[in-house]
Amino acid sequence: MAKLSLFERRRRRVRTALKSRAGGRPRLSVHRTGRHIYAQIIDDAEGRTVAAASTLGSKSSGANVDAAVQVGKDIADAAKKAGVTAVVFDRGGFLFHGRVKALADAAREGGLEF
- pTM score, whole prediction: 0.91
Q: Is residue 40 part of a domain?
A: yes
Predicted local confidence at residue 60, as pLDDT: 61
| Domain containing residue 90 | 28-109
Q: Mean pLDDT, the chain, as a whole number? A: 93
pLDDT digits (tens, 9 = 90+) for 39-65: 999 999 999 999 999 999 766 667 899
CA–CA separation, 34 and 37 (whole Å):
8
**CATH at 50:** 3.30.420.100
Sort 37 into a burial class: Cβ within 10 Å, 0-12 / 13-18 / 19+.
Answer: buried
Q: What is the mean pLDDT of residues 14-37?
A: 93
Q: Is residue 18 part of a domain?
A: no
Q: What is the mean pLDDT of residues 9-37?
A: 93
Alpha helical stretches, state H, the chain: 6-21, 65-82, 99-109
